Amino acid sequence: MKKKLSVLLSIILLVSMLFTGCSNSDGGTGGKKILRSNNSSEPGSLDPPLAQGTHESWILENVFEGLMTFDEKGELVPGMAEDYEISEDGLTYTFTLRDGIKWSNGDPVTAEDFEFSWKRALDPELAADYAHILYYIEGAEAYNTGEGSRDDVAVKALDEKTLEVTLESPTAYFLELTAFYTYFPVNKKVVESNPDWAKKPETHVSNGPFKLVKWEHNAKIAMEKNDLYYNADKIKLDGIELDIIEDQNTAWQKYEGGEYDILVDIPTSVVAQLQAENDPQLHIGPQVGTYYYNVNPDVKPFNNVKVRKALSMALDRETIVKDITQGGQIAAEGVVPYGLKDENGKEFRDGVGNLIEYNPEKAKELLEEGLAEEGMTIEDFNNSNFVLLYNTSESHKKIAQAVQEMWRTALGIEIGLENVEFQVKLDREKAGDYDISRGGWIGDFMDPMTILELWWSKSAFNDVNYNNPEYDALLDEAKSTIDQNIRMEAMRKAEKMVMEDMPVIPVYFYTQPYVLRDGVEGVVKVPIRYPVITYADITK
Amino acid sequence: MSKYVIKRLAMAIVTLWVIITITFILMHSVPGDPFANENKRIPEAVYQNLLKKYGLDKPYSQQYLMYLKNIARGDFGESMKSNTETVNEMIARGFPVSASLGLQALLIALIFGPALGAIAALYQNKFPDYISMIISIIGVSVPSFVMGTFLIQFVARKVNWIPIGGWGEWRHTLLPSIALAMMPLAQMARLMRSSMLEVIGQDYIKTAKSKGISKSAVILKHSVRNAILPIVSILGTTISNLLVGSFVIEKIFGIPGLGMFFTTSIYNRDYTLIMGITVFYAIILILMLLFVDVAYTLIDPRIRLTEEGR
């Protein structure tokens, strides 16, 4: 029996050595400038239209480039396009491509590639998650929803170098949209000959500053400088290597151990500690996003605007961002976050001013007035067992607890807390089965419209079913022209209006903290993007 | 015995069918769908396109039959979250990683667990007993995420050649194997100790001793062999759990194994992956249980695998 057991043990040992023996190690970087970091989760796809979020776009933005792009200062500049013309009515854009732009396999990048890519992204059979960001193009929505045809999508390659696009309505931020990943081109020849082209680095073809060279699923992604890129002189790195580690703490430990040059998703407690120590490695990057609470207008007494305002006025947002979230977030002053510019190139936020007041006494008065109008008392309110719903997460929980306590002390009301998985929360919001629920929005482009559009009566994301014809009219006005003076004025009015009606209670504006090792330079933070590492340099 | 094995395998197919059916009903009765995203939401039209692409617009009965047909052919389908890998590819990639780690952990547990237990029993209520029981209490009561974090903080951060996380070389497997092994090691030690104590008190041990057989022969040939049966009986579930990986350990150490799919697939409502991974785990478990039954007869000839006996 001893023999049998030892045979069994040695078999196990052999098999386990066999498995581990399969994997091999990588050599050192060999004096090359390789930027190392972590990508927080495995990309679902590296085919641009099939990408869904930052875990894909951080890679895509380095290996692809759209008609426009962000330069080393974080400014929007022509990318694949050399020049563009916009018609008087703001509807037709004619892009002229640069000379000598090439795909990583040597093929020239043509206007036809763009026409093909955009129509492909809209193909209902491809079912791209982000297809709706192309709906600005005439005929795009109809094609994507199966009502129109591919040929009616108004994007056309006039010749090899010229691309003409007609929009549904004037869109002041359309140029910026062409820098968004769903608008990135794909190589028509490659895609048509090999539908699986994006699945392996060997067959992956792109047109950006870097190209994909390694993709070990759930483990590692490596990119190498693309020498065929027209602006290769500006790229100082020889490559980028990203681990794929989901656990924030492990990734942080690796950064601390000197294994990364930059790290973006950092545990909240670490951010708080670095901030307290004034650590120069920590950067609080701007981000276009707002954290808010939806208030269900179909539940009495939340239908009363005074009640909603009382809830807002009782929140001490400074305390929330300073003591609870601790990531350099900014106390909300409205729904539109900082980082978006107005017609004079100044902060849109400053142009509107602070629309939020913290005043517990006034809040209490407002609440009593509002409740009286609904024929209720505070006791009735407390007997109704209202609940604040949030999706399970440690940080949402802490904020909800603080809010609960602030309402209790300032207004004398009791609101319960309930956490559910985010899928369940979405379901309940859709069904109107909630009193107050946590919401948040991260913008897609740098225009106040990216957030104001949420409460347009027909918006798919208008969870509170805010329906104000005057508000819609203001948004329509802003969408009817590219004259920034008219647009911005309409949007300023719109924001004031939505804050007056307060269908949602804004809490804070998001930020994006990241750490940079000493000796890494040239990382820029564009508010709507992850920190841009394309132009980074390693000096030490 | 072969007749018995064949019958068990036939039963396994029925079991699998029941598991598939229950999983199908359960996963479709949970709210949500694979296309919801915590940070980004999609409009209705795009959502409809996605439903159509993955055949989720069809009635449940039709989807169910499709699943059954595909699984029978060994095809688990396309993952609804990844456009890069099929479910079969994901399992084929993740399983070897988790299995190699699991086998190493099993080896550690098998070497040290029974040994600790046996030593504890031989020195009952003496110093070695206390030490080994302290180790096993730590192993049973400290959750693996604490153990993993602890090892990273106090071993990986201090010892240069041991990496904090990641995958690729043998040294990457060291800490996760230890963290994984702690729990089964502790279980085995405790089981071994109690069954060993029982065996030591038996008459045949006294007989063996009185016959003048050397002490080590009594321990190894007579005591350990008889005491080890309870450990073999937990091996089936232990091995299958270790083989398919642990979500917690794989997440903490950043290991591209199978374990994390068990949780992420459900969180993402990735229906095809949920089904694939459940069926795969069920197959492993059924095979391991069968393996354990066969192993019984090898270790203890008194046990026979007959239809009446079992």
Residues A122, B115: Cα–Cα separation, whole Å = 64
At A442, which helix (H) or strand (E)? strand A436-442
For residue B4, give Cα distances in angstroms to A246, B9, B287, B293. 45, 9, 14, 11
Q: Which helix (H) or strand (E) holds B19?
A: helix B2-29
Cβ-defined contact of B165 to A245 (cutoff 8 Å)? yes
**A119-143 pLDDT tens trace:** 999 999 999 989 999 999 999 999 9
Please report, as a single letter, which amino acid is at residue B133. M
Contact criterion met (CB below 8 Å) for B60 and A72: no
In the prediction, which pLDDT does B295 show? Answer: 82
Say what the pLDDT of residue A11 is. 56
What does the CA dihedral B259, B263, B265, B268 come to, rounded to 10 degrees? -150
Peptide bond into A301 cis (omega under 30): yes
Quick one: tokens of B271? 């229906």
For residue B167, which residues of chain A lie inside 8 Å, CB to CB?
23, 219
Query: Amino acid identity of B310?
Result: R
Which of A3, A143, A245 to mutate to probe the B interface, most B CBs <10 Å?
A: A245
Split at pLDDT 50, 70, 90, the class of A13 is: low
Does residue A34 sit in helix, strand or coil?
A: strand
**pLDDT tens by residue, B81-135:** 888 999 999 999 999 999 999 999 999 999 999 999 999 999 999 999 999 989 9
Kindly list the distances between the CA atom of residue A331 and the CA atoms of A272, A326, A359, A453, in Å, as whole numbers in the listed order: 16, 11, 15, 21
DSSP A183: G
**With an 8 Å Cβ cutoff, are B103 and A47 in contact?**
no
Percent of chain B with pLDDT over 90: 48
What confidence tens digit (pLDDT) does each residue in B48-77 have? Answer: 999 999 999 999 999 999 999 999 999 999
How does the average pLDDT of chain B come out, rounded? 88
Position A54 confidence tier, pLDDT thresholds 50, 70, 90: confident
Using pLDDT thresholds of 50, 70 and 90, give the confidence band for residue B232: confident
B45, B111, B256 member nearest A219 (Cβ): B256
Which residue shows structure tokens 């070389």?
B169
Yes or no: say if A70 and A293 are a contact pair by the CB < 8 Å rule. no
Spell out the residues 6+ positions from residue A79 whose beta carbon is closer than 8 angstroms to its own: A65, A66, A67, A68, A69, A179
Q: pLDDT value at position A22?
A: 40
As to burial, measured by CB atoms within 10 angstroms (0-12 exposed, 13-18 middle, 19+ buried), residue A344 is exposed
Q: Quick check: A219 and B172 in contact, CB under 8 A?
A: no
Q: In this predicted structure, what is the pLDDT of residue A26?
A: 41
Beta strand residue intervals within A81-209, DSSP E: 81-86, 92-97, 155-157, 162-166
Which of B40, B152, B251 lies at the smallest CB-CB distance from A253? B152
* Gap from B14 CA to chain A (nearest CA, Å): 30
- Across the beta sheet with A162-166, the strand order is A81-86, A92-97, A162-166, A155-157
* Range with lowest mean pLDDT among A10-19, A322-331, B235-244: A10-19
Tens digit of each residue's pLDDT (9 = 90 or more) over A423-444: 899 889 888 999 999 999 999 9
Residues in chain A, how many? 540
Nearest partner of B1 among B294, B240, B235, judged by Cα: B294
What pLDDT digit, counting tens, does each position of A147-182 carry? 999 999 999 999 999 999 999 999 999 999 999 999
Predicted confidence (pLDDT) per residue in A244-253, tens digit = 998 899 999 9
The rounded percent of chain A whose pLDDT value lies above 90 is 86
Q: Residue B12 pLDDT more than 80?
A: yes
Q: What is the pLDDT of residue B3?
A: 82
A124 CB near a chain B CB, below 8 Å? yes
Taking residues A281-285, what's their average pLDDT?
Answer: 95
A244 near B CB under 8 A: yes
ipTM: 0.83
Q: What percent of chain B has pLDDT over 70?
A: 97
First to last CA, chain A: 61
Tokens 């043998």 — which residue?
B170
Q: What confidence score (pLDDT) does residue A9 get?
A: 53
Over 70: is that where the pLDDT of A210 sits?
yes
- The C-alpha of A219 sits at a distance from chain B's nearest C-alpha, in angstroms, of 6
Residue A397 has pLDDT above 90, yes or no: yes
Question: Average of pLDDT values for A89-100?
Answer: 95
Name, in order, each residue with C-beta under 8 angstroms of A246's C-beta and a sequence gap of 6 or more.
A40, A41, B251, B254, B260
- pLDDT for residue A53: 84
The amino acid occupying position B127 is F
pLDDT in tens, B273-283: 999 999 999 99
**77-96 in chain B: CB under 8 A from chain A:** 81-85, 90, 93-94, 96
CB contact under 8 A, A246 and B254: yes
Residue ranges of A 157-186 with Cβ closer than 8 A to chain B: none
HSE, CB side, 13 Å, CA atoms: give it for residue A201: 15
CATH architecture, domain B95-268? Orthogonal Bundle (1.10)
pLDDT-based confidence at residue B223 (cuts at 50, 70, 90): confident
Q: Do A19 and B164 touch (CB under 8 A)?
A: no
B90 contacts in A (CB within 8 Å)? 217
- B161: helix, strand or coil: coil
Q: Could you give the angle at the alpha carbon of A236 between the alpha carbons of A279 and A539, nearest 5°?
A: 40
CA atoms within 13 A on the CB side of A390: 21
What pLDDT does B245 receive?
Answer: 84
Predicted local confidence at residue B164, as pLDDT: 86
**Partner residue facing A15 (CB), from B49, B50, B103:** B103
B8 — pLDDT class (breaks 50, 70, 90): confident
Work out the pLDDT band at B39, boundaries 50, 70, 90.
low
- What is the overall mean pLDDT for chain A? 92
Specify the pLDDT at position A30.
Answer: 60
What tokens were used for A402? 């603080």
- The whole-number pLDDT of residue A2 equals 47
| Cross-chain residue pair B100–A198, CB shorter than 8 Å | no
pLDDT value at residue A23? 38
A521–B contact, CB cutoff 8 A: no
Q: What is the pLDDT of residue A4?
A: 54
Containing B194, the helix (H) or strand (E) segment is: helix B170-200
Least Cα separation, residue B171 to chain A (angstroms): 10
CB atoms < 10 A from the CB of A428, how many?
16
A53 touches chain B (CB under 8 A): yes
Burial of residue B205 (CB within 10 Å: 0-12, 13-18, 19+) is: middle
CA A179 to chain CA centroid, Å, is 14
Task: State the pLDDT confidence band at A24, using cuts at 50, 70 and 90.
Answer: very low
Q: Do A129 and B93 touch (CB under 8 A)?
A: no
pLDDT of residue B26: 94
Q: At what angle do helices B271-299 and B87-122 cross, to 10 degrees?
A: 40
Tens-place pLDDT, residues A432-490 = 999 999 999 999 999 999 999 999 998 888 889 999 999 999 999 999 898 999 999 99
Q: Are strands A155-157 and A162-166 parallel, antiparallel or unpaired?
A: antiparallel
Strand A387-391 versus strand A416-420 pairing type? parallel
Q: Which of A99, A93, A100 is nearest to A137 (CA)?
A: A93
- DSSP E strand stretches across A260-368: 262-263, 282-295, 330-331
Please name the residue of chain A whose CA is at the shortest distance from the CA of residue B104.
A16
Residue A330 has pLDDT above 70, yes or no: yes
Kindly tell me if the per-residue pLDDT of A27 is higher than 70.
no
pLDDT value of residue B215: 84
Q: Which of B124, B162, B165, B116 is nearest to B140 (CA)?
A: B116
Indicate which of A126, A134, A218, A426 best probes the interface with B, i.e. most B CBs within 10 Å of its own CB: A218
DSSP codes of every residue in A223-281: EEE-TTSTTGGG---SEEEEEE---HHHHHHHHHTT--SEE-S--HHHHHHHHHTT-TT
Tokens representing B268?
């993402």
Q: Name the pLDDT band for B219 (thresholds 50, 70, 90).
A: confident
| Mean of pLDDT values over A278-291 | 95
Percent of chain A with pLDDT over 70: 94
Sign of CA dihedral A137, A138, A141, A147: negative
How much is the average pLDDT of A229-233?
A: 95
Query: Among A4-18, A262-276, A318-332, B30-44, which stretch is predicted with the lowest mean pLDDT?
Result: A4-18
3-state secondary structure (DSSP) of residue A222: strand
| Test mutation, A19, A41, A197, chain B, max B CBs within 10 A | A19
Q: Are A153 and A140 in contact (CB under 8 A)?
A: yes
